[in-house]
Structure 1
Amino acid sequence: MALGLVALVAVLVFAYRVFREPRRLGNAVWFGVAACLTGLWLLDQVAGISWLRNLALAVLAAIAALIVLVLPWALIANGIVMWRREGHGLANLLSLLAGVALLVVFGATAATAMLGRFPWLTAIALTSLVITGYFAFLFAALLAYSVLYGTFRRERDANAIIVLGAGLLDGRVSPLLAARLDRAIACRKRSATTDPVMVVSGGQGPDEPVSEAEAMGDYLREAGVPAEKILLEDKATSTEENLRFSVAVLAEHGHTGKMVAVTSNYHMFRTAVLARRLRLRLDVMGARTATYFVLSAFLREFAALLAQYWRTNLAAVVLLAGTTSVLTWLHR
């Protein structure tokens, strides 16, 4: 009974927070807490029914086996694909590094279980496992809430549509960027009561012959968007600058009213969180991304959010490490 009430409270808190402001990062954490507590309550409810209990335990065992035996190798395989297709930058190695890190943690934990004579080794292994669990919980909660956020209704009759830039390919719009532009064009066509202006945002990289904004503007004109409905913002070099500079361009041209920003689906929620921090009244829409690219890209988004809230995460890691170490030594 008590567990059910706690789970209900967590669900209600999550629902209230989403109703008030869906762009809060804390919503993802509350979603994860509510899901875990609800899952525990459901397990408690089926504990007295033998076949349901056995089924639930079998499912949990299968999930655990997949996490330990399959997930690290899947991450490594994705990292190799990213390395071959997207280049050798650190950002494209995140899934490979994550897979290797999981193998090290799981291997160290297994070795410690077999060599249980060394309390200090047990403390290190368990601390690593707990911290890994913490980041895994955050990642899963953020991924799940990002998918949920993508299903929320977006403003269809916006007065302005901001398209966030991405890297060019030989001076032309890349497939990733084309997907964002196509989503923005579709959004503009669906607008029933407005004729929205479109802001294309992106500066010129050192290896790019033109700015991202210029290439994006050419793409929109070729797609039939009137030139007078296209505004260029060609200075931005980050997501924050994409948003701030684009809103400033709209203000300079006297455009007010509802705004929607379009980016890739993996980048959507972090953009929304950033827009809230900048106190910008706009929603964010996501465009489809190649399947192989999503996992690595989302890991990059996850790392960026961790860095953005590094103080909170550092405090959590220190607390978990200290608590686990003390409990391990007390029970040695």
Structure 2
Amino acid sequence: MVALALGILGLGIFALRVRREPRRLGNGVVLLIALAFTVIGVIHTDSGSALSLLAAVIVVLSPLLVLVLAGLLIVNGVLMVRREGLRVANLLSFGLGVVLLAPYVLFVVALYSQNLWFAATLAAITLMIGYIGFVLLAFLLYSFVYLRLPYPRTPAAIVVHGSGLIGARVPPLLASRLDKALDVYRGALSLGRRPLLVTSGGKGADEAVAEADAMADYLIAEGLPAEAILREDRSTTTRENLLYSRDLLASLGAPIPVVLVTSNFHALRTGILARKLGLPATVVGSPTAFYYVPSAILREFVGILFEHKWAHTLACLALAALPLLAVATLPADPGWH
């Protein structure tokens, strides 16, 4: 019953954290741990071993998640090559899947060869991968929840983030964002609000026009009044999308609330970055083609890890030290070398 009580308490803490500030990856960590305690409490009532069972679940589940991820990346890499052609960029997910799979294969080889230090080194690598797997699971879980949180139905401004053009043409990924922004805009109109709509994106080296202009033309062709559109045509990154759009809205008196529209895989990271930049905004995600999602989510996750690279590095190093210290303190075994 202790585990169940801890799980319910954790879910309550999660709800309070989301109410206070939903744009934090830590919310996903709290939710994942709370759910684990809740499940353990439901299926296992011996409170004395609840913590050890939770640890076992995490130790087993995290590497398994990485193995599943490795398999999905390899399959996705094959699919990307079939759909998009044989290019280095399309082989990235396949290559990463192989890299993630390699330590597990080598660990089995090390155990079979009975090389203790080799096995300990690979166990250290596996623990680090397991930690990343745990954080990834928290990220995936909370991304799913975050996309389903309510957003203001009558925003004062809607900002659509660019994602690249093909020459001067809006590709399907960006069209999906614009269609979602139109849904939000029309929903606000039906409730008596006429929000501003900001198209945010500069001109890339391989683009014929600025993304903001191509996006505005798309919206106008869909029936949006030209006077309802503001164009932010300088940004080249998500951070700049947010900064320049914030400055543009501030020049008009900083109308709030603000809704940011991006792809579903990019929503949580956009929200986290908006919080760090002090932009009070809610993020709405648009649908993405299924074969594009694994690679896109992976890039988002790497970006989030990089935001707190030192904390994650220290956690990985601490975990990696455990099997090495264990081997160093074990008595010599003549069967191992």
1:140 aligns with 137
Shift of 1:128: 1.3
Q: Specify whether residues 41 and 97 from structure 1 end up closer, same or farther in structure 2 by C-alpha distance, changes over 3 A only.
A: farther
Matched, 1:159 2:156: yes
Flag structure 1 segments of 5+ consecutive residues without an equivalent. Answer: 48-59
Q: 1:77-103 CA deviation, whole Å, 9 max, x = no partner?
A: 20233345457465x544323311232
Shift of 1:326: 1.1
Q: State the number of aligned residues.
A: 318
Contact 1:94/1:299, CA 8 A, preserved across alignment? no
Give the Cα separation in 2 of the matches to 1:290 and 1:165.
17
Preserved contact between residue 110 and residue 116 of structure 2 (Cα < 8 Å)? no
Aligned to 1:12: 12
SS in structure 1 opposite 2:199? strand
Any conservation in 2 of the 1:158–1:259 contact (CA below 8 Å)?
yes
Aligned-partner residue type, residue 224 of structure 1: G
Partner of 1:40: 40
Q: Which secondary structure does the structure 2 equivalent of 1:323 belong to?
A: helix
Alpha-carbon distance change, 259 to 322 in structure 1, aligned in 2, over 3 angstroms: same
CA RMSD of aligned residues (A): 2.6
Secondary structure of the equivalent of 1:173? coil
**How many Å apart are 1:68 and its aligned residue?**
8.0
Greater Cα offset, 316-325 or 178-187: 316-325
After superposition, give the CA deviation of every residue in 1:184-219 in whole Å (9 maximum; x if it has no partner): 001100011210110000011101110111100100
Point out the more displaced range, 30-39 or 187-196. Answer: 30-39
Residue of structure 2 equivalent to 1:262:
261
Q: Identity rate of aligned residues, in percent?
A: 40
1:99 corresponds to which letter in structure 2?
G
**Structure 2 residue matching 1:295: 3-state secondary structure:** helix
**Whole-Å separation in 1 of the counterparts to 2:248 and 2:179:** 22
Quote the Cα distance in structure 2 between the aligned partners of 1:139 and 1:66.
12
Instruction: Tell me the distance in 1 between the aligned counterparts of 2:199 and 2:88.
Output: 26
Distance 1:13 1:66 in 2: 28
Moved over 6 A (4+): 63-66
AA matched with 2:77: G
Q: Quick check: 1:94–1:300 contact (8 Å CA) kept in 2? A: no
TM-score (norm 2): 0.87
Return the alpha-carbon distance in structure 1 between the equivalents of residues 157 and 65 of structure 2. 43
* Structure 1 residues 64 and 254: alpha-carbon distance in aligned structure 2, compared to 1, 3 A threshold: closer
Q: How does 1:276-291 map to 2 (within 5 A)?
A: 276-291=275-290
Residue 330 of structure 1: how far off its partner (Å): 3.0
Task: State the alpha-carbon separation in 2 of the partners of residues 104 and 318 from structure 1.
Answer: 19
Compared CA separation, residues 245 and 68, structure 1 to 2 (3 A): closer
Please give the per-residue CA displacement for 1:27-82, whole angstroms capped at 9, x wherever unaligned: 111122222222333342499xxxxxxxxxxxx9xx89985876533311202333
Q: 2:319: which partner in 1? A: 320
Determine the C-alpha separation between the residues in 2 that align with 1:272 and 1:251: 19
Deviations 1:204-245 (A, max 9, x none): 110111011110010011011000011100100110110110
- Tell me which of 108, 111, 115 is aligned to 2:109: 111
Task: Report the counterpart of residue 27 of structure 1 in structure 2.
Answer: 27
Q: Distance in 2 between matches of 1:85 and 1:18?
A: 39
| Higher alpha-carbon deviation: 190-199 or 246-255 | 246-255
Give me the whole-angstrom Cα distance separating, in 2, the residues matched to 1:328 and 1:94.
Answer: 35
TM-score w.r.t. the length of structure 1 is 0.88
